[in-house]
Structure 1
C-alpha cells in the first residue's frame, strides 16, 4: 500500500550545510494592512482618523477606523509575533551613528538635515521644530532613529522628506512611550517597545503606529495613514544557527532560549521572547503578558534531559584548550580574535567586536572563574564570520558558582551560562543567543530575547472570495468548495476559482476522474487534506488518479508510471514517478542504469514495494544507487506520518502518531544529492510539528528527514516546492 513514502536515513556522508539564512528587505507581513496595532493595550480614537486596519491581541478598540478591526484572534496573534520579529530585524541593524548625535533632533529656521543611516541614542530623545531627512537621491535610503527611552515630538514640529526619501523607509524606535504634540506633521513609523503611542490634536502622521505593549491614542483632528510605499530596508533573517563542531555541545538544551537546571525562570515587565523557556526544578512566571514565540516547559523528562545535556555542555566547554590570554575586563572598543580565554571574575563594558577572521566556525569561549557582569549599555558586535551560536560567556567556570548579570540597555550576542549561579538580564536588554544556569535562577526584565532572527513569512490580509473571512484564517480562500490544503495537493491555485480557465470552477472539476467532483471530495471547512470517505490515510481528492492506467490508483500503486521502478526508488534517484521517461531519451526510466553498475533500474527495484529496495544484498544500501550513496537505509520504524501541504509554499505540517506526542525531533531538509540545507529541532505537540519559513526555497524536489531525538530513528519523505 502506498502512502507518502518514508525512507529511513542513518548517515549523511557528504556536504553538510548550515541552515538557510537570507538577506531580504524588512517584511511587515500580516501587519502590512494595519495602521495601528498593539500586542497588548487599547486602540482609542477620540475624533481622529485612522486610515487602515486596527488591532490588538489583549485589549479593546474604540472610535472607529477606515479599515477592518481585529481583537484577540489568530490574525492579531500572528501580527504580534511578526511585530516582534520586525523589531528584532530593525534593532539588529548596524548602527552608523552610535550616540554621536544629541538626543534632540531638529532645528529652527531651515531645520536640521540628516543623512541616511541608523542613529542610536542612549537615552530618551525628541524631534523639535524642523527635521529634514535627505535621501541623497536614493529612493531606498532609510533612516532608523532609536532611543533607549521615551520619544517625543514637539508641537508644530515638521519632518520633511527630501531627495528621494520615502516614509516607508523611516522608523522611530523607542524603548518607552512615544508622544506627538499638537499640530505636528511627521513622516515615518512610530514603533514603541512596551510603551504607549499617542497623537495629540491635529497631528498628521504618514506612517504606522505600532507598539509591542501599550495604548494607542488619537485626539480630535489627528490623522494617521499608512506610507504609500513598501520598505526597502535590507535586514538579515535566519531560521537556525548551526554551531561549529568544537562548540556543538548543547544537545537538547539548544531547543531553549531560557533554561535553568535547578531554579525559577521569571520575568519582570513586558518582554518578548522567541524561543522555548524551561526549568527542571522550579517555576516559570511573567511571560504571558508579553510576546512569547515558543513553549514553556516545567519539570518533565524533557527538561531532565535538557538539564543533563547542559551539564555535559558545561563539561565539554571547560575541556576546550585555552588559546588566548586576556585581562578580566572586556570591551572599551576592543576587537577580539577567536579563541578560548580563561579569567578570574570579569566584566564587559562598552563595545566589543568579535572578529571571526573570515571563518564561520570561529569560536569565542570566555570562561570566568567567578561572576561575570556586563555593564549597562554594553554592545557586542560580530564581524567577519563570527556567529552567535559559536559564542559562550561562562560565569563560575571551574569554581562552585558564578553569577552572570547583563546590564540594562545592553545589546549582546551569544550563550550566557552561569555555572551554579543566577543568570540575569536587565531592563531593555537585546540578546541574540541564550540565558542558561546549571544551578540558579534565570531572570529577565522588559527585554527582547531570541535564538534566531526569524524571517517574517506571513502575508498581508486579503479576502480573495469576499466572504468576510481573511485568507489568513479562511480554509477556502477562493470559495471554490475545495480547502486550501487539498488545492495545494492537486496543484490548483487556492486563490483562483478556475485555475485551468475552462469556465468551470475547480470545485466542479474532477481531478482523480472517479466521477465525484473536487468540491464533494473536499471538506472546505478543514485546514488539512480531506480523508473521510473512507478515512484510510489516502486523500479523497486523489484516490482515483491512475497515471499508468493499470487499474490501480496512484494512491495505492507502488509504481505510478509503470516503468518498473517503485516510487520510493524513483524519489531517491530523482526521476519523476509520474513520468515513464524522465530524461526524454526515448527509453523508460526502468531501462536506464542510474548507478552505472551494469544492471538496469527496473531490475534493481522491487516495483511492488512501497519502500526503497535493499535486497541484493541486504546491506543497508539501496540497490539502485552507488554503494557509497549519501543516503543509506536502516529502518522504517516511524510509520503513519502525513505531511501536508505537498506540494508546499512557505510551510508544512507534520502529523505523527499520538505515540510521539511531546517527543523532540530533529528536522532536516535535504536536496536530491542528500545535502542538508536546513536543520531545526522541534517538539511535537499533540503529534503535530509545524515547519515555517520555507518560502525562500527554490522550486523543486526535496527530502525531509525526521529523526526522533530519544532513539535516533529517522525517516524521510519526498517534498515538492511550488
Structure 2
C-alpha cells in the first residue's frame, strides 16, 4: 500500500491490479492580513494564527483610527480646529494666541481678525473714527481716507489804504474760526492786495484746505477806505498823545477851543486794518481812551478826526504788554 497524506485514501483496484489513491487537501482558508494559515498533518486541518493590532489609544478628540488592510496597520486621521483668544469679548480673536480643540473653549473664537484684542471698540465690525490715529476697523489704515471738507467761516473787515494808496490783507484777518475734523493745513484769501480803485466794498474768497487735501471756499466783504491823511489838519503842536509807548490807556491833549467837540478816533495796525473805532467827545480839552489792553503788542497808527470839519492828525504809537 502506498504512503498517503492524511487527506488521502489508498484502495487496491483488482481490475487494474494497482492501488488507487484518492482525496484532496482542504483549501487554504482566507485569512486577514495579520493571520497566518499552517496545515496541521496531525489533525489534517489548517490552523490559522495571528492577532490584529489593537486600536491606538490616546487619540485626540478630533482624531479617528481606521484599519488599513493594504498596510495591515491602523491609520489615524483628523485635523484639529484652531481657536483664538478673545480677551476683549468682541467676537474677534488674537491670531498670536491660539489653542486647538474640537469645540470652542470659553473665552475663544474661531475668528482671528482682531487687531487689538485688548480693546473691544477695535475690530473689523467697528466704525472708523477719523483723524485719531487708531485703526478701529482693522483694515490696516490708522485713519480711513478723509473725504469731509472743512467748515469755512469768515468775517467782514474794513481796511484803510496807506499813504501810498495801497492795502494788503491776510487770510487770518478774514478767517472767523474755520475748522476741520482732521485739522486745517492752509488758509488763503483772494484777492489780498488793494488800491484806490478798490475803495468801497470788495468780495474776497477764503480757501480752507485740510490735512488730507479737502478744500472749501467762502466769501467775505472787505471795505476799503480812502486814506484821509490829505484831510485838513489841525496844528500838530496843539495835540499831544501820551503815554507812548502805551499799555491800557492813552490821553489825547487838545487845545482849549476843542472842548466838548466830537472826534472820530481810529487805531490802525500796520496793515491798515482798523482795530479801534469810536466817536468820543472831548472834555476839559482832553480825550481819554481806555480798555486798550486787548490790543497785541505791536506798532499802531492813531487817527484823530474832528467830526465837524474833517480836520485830522495821525500819529504812530507803540503798544507794550
Q: What is the TM-score with the length of structure 2 in the denominator?
A: 0.29
RCO greater where, 1 or 2, for CA within 8 Å and sep 6 or more?
A: 1
**Greater helix fraction, Structure 1 or Structure 2:** 1
Q: What is the TM-score with the length of structure 1 in the denominator?
A: 0.13
- The structure with the larger Rg is 2
